[in-house]
């Protein structure tokens, strides 16, 4: 079977890279090639930003929010119509278990639906300055939005950032993640088929150091949104700062779960076990650090380990609980972290190696792993591992629990498990994170709720109505009444 091939999407048409280069993506479960892509460089980024600017000036900024919303709603419909094929492509491209890929496609459709519906609701406010003037604010788009995404939720993330940017009246140039560009390329075809004017959405496939770096330093951007690691985020923000481009950084996390003795330990253990292996542990806000009261530590670890031990591991297409990691490099990194932890005195309460399950010999698999016996300063308790590895650290008092939770430097999500309502409320204030959950591992509707970090996890907010504020800037207008 011939492999599918995708050009860069620039000005409404798929084109080869200016220098003709291409690259191939691979199935992490088998190592087999999946699809070929034009490999964009600085010249292609220039062409894409110029096309996006033309589309913005020519028509998009003056399109009514209702008309923009209708196009977005049509993308949602098309995503749902293609859901089976898109989920299969996502699974092959980034290894995700099929059920998780299906859920991601539905979430992608919901982003287009939500932002399509919300577009006309964004408005400024009137300010009571005095009888001599009429003063009000309007929210205007930034212009061309550069977007650089990670590979762990490719379609989902492209949808959340594109839908919000377009709804707010921006045009976009998106640099797809080179390890998993397939479903974003398919989204590009859906956007074109839905009838978006040429140049409103542009996709550049290619390497971070080349296409990504060219986009982040481009002087033609009105806003840059970046999702990825802390190290790359620093470089991207520095490049954007040189062009005085405002930035949104959605970076990594080491999201703590604080477990108190009065919590419903069964429910907490069950949800925590599911949580730390989601997307094979390659999700920025998943609960990868458990901070557990010493009185229940051993019993709680036993429950989590027992649940995670029952998870199936295998190729995403077989719809297991846990799929492969994205690449050999990522598996090496996870294995290095586990080895370092063991050298530092960790007890491996579960896993720690490669699975022997059928279908796992060729790809980048690791077992769900639970590490105990480490202090809060150990690397495995502070650093993002980005694999299915849970580190459990004991505490005895609330202040100590907060210090451990806040001591990683990250601040994306935090989870608190207690039946004491007062303690739950207190901790929502004391724990430093962009989102704090009490007795749950998510709101159940991540499209509606704002999302972003503090500290090393970045700044700015995506998702929910807050994203429409992110993707617009305020202009104050004052008109004399005389
Ligand atoms: P990464 O930083 O290596 O790459 C992210 C993107 O940046 C890719 O598209 C890459 O090509 C590009 N890039 C790489 N070098 C670049 C450079 N010099 N200039 C510009 N762009 C460059 O991250 P990754 O390994 O793809 O993703 C995993 C990381 O992303 C994890 O840390 C994870 O926590 C984070 N993440 C955060 C969120 C969030 O919303 N907070 C969501 C998903 C992933």
Q: Which among 248, 253, 205, 213 has a CA at the least distance from the CA of 232?
A: 213
Show the CA angle centred on residue 243, arms to residues 13 and 14, nearest 5°: 10
Q: Which CATH superfamily is domain 256-446 in?
A: Aldehyde Dehydrogenase; Chain A, domain 2 (3.40.309.10)
What whole-number distance in Å separates Cα of residue 24 and Cα of residue 83? 23
250 flagged as catalytic: yes
What whole-number distance in Å separates Cα of residue 338 and Cα of residue 389? 8
* Helical packing angle, 154-167 and 98-118, nearest 10°: 0
Question: Which tokens belong to 421?
Answer: 């309502």
Q: Residue 97 C-alpha to ligand 1 middle, in angstroms?
A: 21
Q: Residue 208 C-alpha to ligand 1 middle, in angstroms?
A: 9
What whole-number distance in Å separates Cα of residue 234 and Cα of residue 241? 10
Active-site choice (113, 178, 210, 250): 250
What whole-number distance in Å separates Cα of residue 181 and Cα of residue 6? 10
Judged on CB neighbours under 10 Å (0-12, 13-18, 19+), 452 is buried
Residue nearest to atom 10 of ligand 1 (CA): 208
Residue 351 near residue 366, CB atoms below 8 Å: yes
Number of C-beta neighbours around residue 66 at 10 A: 10
148 lines ligand 1 (CB under 6 A): yes
CATH topology of domain 5-251+458-478: Aldehyde Dehydrogenase; Chain A, domain 1 (3.40.605)
Q: Residue 210 C-alpha to ligand 1 middle, in angstroms?
A: 14
Q: Residue 228 C-alpha to ligand 1 middle, in angstroms?
A: 2
The per-residue pLDDT for 482 is 84
90 flagged as catalytic: no
204 lines ligand 1 (CB under 6 A): no
Q: What is the pLDDT along the chain (482 residues), one digit of tens a residue?
A: 689 999 999 999 999 999 999 999 999 999 999 999 999 999 999 999 999 999 999 999 999 999 999 999 999 999 999 999 999 999 999 999 999 999 999 999 999 999 999 999 999 999 999 999 999 999 999 999 999 999 999 999 999 999 999 999 999 999 999 999 999 999 999 999 999 999 999 999 999 999 999 999 999 999 999 999 999 999 999 999 999 999 999 999 999 999 999 999 999 999 999 999 999 999 999 999 999 999 999 999 999 999 999 999 999 999 999 999 999 999 999 999 999 999 999 999 999 999 999 999 999 999 999 999 999 999 999 999 999 999 999 999 999 999 999 999 999 999 999 999 999 999 999 999 999 999 999 988 999 999 999 999 999 999 999 999 999 999 999 999 88
Contact residues for 241 (Cβ-Cβ < 8 A; gap 6+): 247
What whole-number distance in Å separates Cα of residue 208 and Cα of residue 99? 29
What whole-number distance in Å separates Cα of residue 278 and Cα of residue 193? 32
Residue nearest to atom 22 of ligand 1 (CA): 208
CA dihedral 44, 47, 53, 59 (to 10 degrees): -110
The per-residue pLDDT for 2 is 85
The per-residue pLDDT for 335 is 98
228 lines ligand 1 (CB under 6 A): yes
178 lines ligand 1 (CB under 6 A): yes
Could you tell me the residue ranges of all domains in the chain?
5-251+458-478, 256-446
Q: Residue 226 C-alpha to ligand 1 middle, in angstroms?
A: 7
Active-site choice (284, 367, 383, 384): 284
Q: Which among 434, 376, 367, 426 has a CA at the least distance from the CA of 400?
A: 376
pTM for the predicted model, two decimal places: 0.97
């Amino acid at each position: 079977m011939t492999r599918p091939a995708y050009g860069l999407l620039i000005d409404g048409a798929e084109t080869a890279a200016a220098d003709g280069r291409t690259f191939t993506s691979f199935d992490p479960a088998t190592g087999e090639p999946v699809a070929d892509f034009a490999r964009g460089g600085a010249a292609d980024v220039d062409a894409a930003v110029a096309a996006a600017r033309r589309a913005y000036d020519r028509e998009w900024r003056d399109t009514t929010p209702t008309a923009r919303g209708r196009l977005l709603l049509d993308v949602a419909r098309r995503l749902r119509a293609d859901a089976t094929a898109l989920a299969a492509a996502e699974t092959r491209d980034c290894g995700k278990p099929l059920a998780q890929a299906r859920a991601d496609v539905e979430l992608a459709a919901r982003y287009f639906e939500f932002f399509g519906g919300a577009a006309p609701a964004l408005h400024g406010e009137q300010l009571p300055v005095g009888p001599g003037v009429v003063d009000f604010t309007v929210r205007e788009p930034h212009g061309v939005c550069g977007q650089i995404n990670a590979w762990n939720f490719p379609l989902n993330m492209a949808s959340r950032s594109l839908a919000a940017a377009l709804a707010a009246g921006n045009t976009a140039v998106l640099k797809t993640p080179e390890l998993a560009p397939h479903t974003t390329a398919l989204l590009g075809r859906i956007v074109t088929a839905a009838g978006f004017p040429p140049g409103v959405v542009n996709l550049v496939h290619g390497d971070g150091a080349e296409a990504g770096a060219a986009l982040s330093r481009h002087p033609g951007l009105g806003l840059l949104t970046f999702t990825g690691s802390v190290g790359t985020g620093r470089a991207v923000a520095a490049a954007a700062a040189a062009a005085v481009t405002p930035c949104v950084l959605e970076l990594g996390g080491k999201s703590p779960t604080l477990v108190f003795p009065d919590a419903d330990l069964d429910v907490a253990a069950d949800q925590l076990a599911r949580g730390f292996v989601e997307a094979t542990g390659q999700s920025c806000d998943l609960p990868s650090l458990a901070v557990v009261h010493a009185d229940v530590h051993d019993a709680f670890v036993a429950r989590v380990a027992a649940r995670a031990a029952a998870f199936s591991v295998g190729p995403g297409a077989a719809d297991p609980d846990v799929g492969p990691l994205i690449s050999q490099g990522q598996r090496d990194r996870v294995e290095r972290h586990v080895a370092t932890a063991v050298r530092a005195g960790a007890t491996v309460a579960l896993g720690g190696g490669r699975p022997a399950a059928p279908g796992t010999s060729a790809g980048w698999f690791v077992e769900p792993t639970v590490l105990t016996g480490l202090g809060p300063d150990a690397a495995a308790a502070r650093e993002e591992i980005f694999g299915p590895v849970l580190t459990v650290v004991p505490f005895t008092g609330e202040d100590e629990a907060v210090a451990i939770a806040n001591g990683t430097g990250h601040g994306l999500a935090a989870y608190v498990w207690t039946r004491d309502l007062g303690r739950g409320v207190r901790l929502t204030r004391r724990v430093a994170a962009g989102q704090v959950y009490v007795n749950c591992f998510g709101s159940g509707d991540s499209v509606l709720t704002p999302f972003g970090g503090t500290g090393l996890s970045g700044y700015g907010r995506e998702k929910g109505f807050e994203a429409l504020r992110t993707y617009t800037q305020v202009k104050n207008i004052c008109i004399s009444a005389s």
